[in-house]
Amino acid sequence: MTHPENPEFPLGKRNRRTVLAGLAGTATLAAGTSAMPGKAYSLSQAGTDLPQFEFVFDASIKRGDPMDIGQSKFGARRVVNLLGGSFEGPTIKGEIPPGGTSIYVARADGATVVDAQYVLKTSDGALIFTRNGGLIVPGPEGAPPYIRTTASFEAPEGPYDWLNKALFIGLAHPNQAAQTSNLSIYRLL
């Protein structure tokens, strides 16, 4: 099953096949392999391992109205307050309290850099600072945009400490009508 507004993003049951299908472009880049014929690079010592991903959680975050800061030396800057939301995965779930922020900088080349900061509050009360940054590139006419992020977490010692010790990739699928940012987070194994 795919996301209704963006068929590039798989929804439903997460397994190795759906993750690798949804992250095919990211996997190629993360593995360090080139899309150029005859040129292949790998980050693994053996040169044969492909990265594997594990689904961590889906999140939905309500966005406020954008505040256009205007043109700067880096591009056109826009700030969006995050009004709260929720997240859920196989081993972690909870709410996203209001108070986070997403900052967007539209570059001259058409790409937009995004940097979001917010807090996850788990169902058992742990607070986890989250930073999620990435890139939005418009797709060809009629195609969905390329939206990929990397997430980092600052979790307290205890049951969520594993978030401090891994790399994470995010696939975003915004819902403009509902003013939500919907995000699927995967751990790079």
Residue 58 in this model has a pLDDT that exceeds 60: yes
CA distance 158 to 70: 43
Residue range 132-161, pLDDT digits in tens: 999 999 999 888 899 999 999 999 999 999
Is 38 exposed, middle or buried, given 0-12, 13-18 or 19+ CB atoms closer than 10 A? exposed
Question: To the nearest whole number, what is the mean pLDDT of the chain?
Answer: 82
CATH for 55-188? 2.40.160.20
Instruction: Say whether 26 sits in a helix, a strand or coil.
Output: helix
Please tell me the least confidently modeled range out of 15-24, 42-51, 127-136, 162-171: 15-24
CA distance 43 to 28: 11
pTM of the full structure: 0.74
Instruction: Say whether 140 sits in a helix, a strand or coil.
Output: coil
Residue 52: C-alpha distances to residues 29, 100, 121 (Å): 13, 30, 27
At residue 44, the pLDDT reads: 53
Among residues 57, 22, 81, 78, which one has the least CA distance to residue 182?
57
- Inter-residue contact 66 to 77 (CB < 8 Å): no
At residue 46, the pLDDT reads: 58
* Most confidently predicted of 7-21, 94-108, 170-184: 94-108
Q: CA 25 from chain center: how many Å?
A: 14
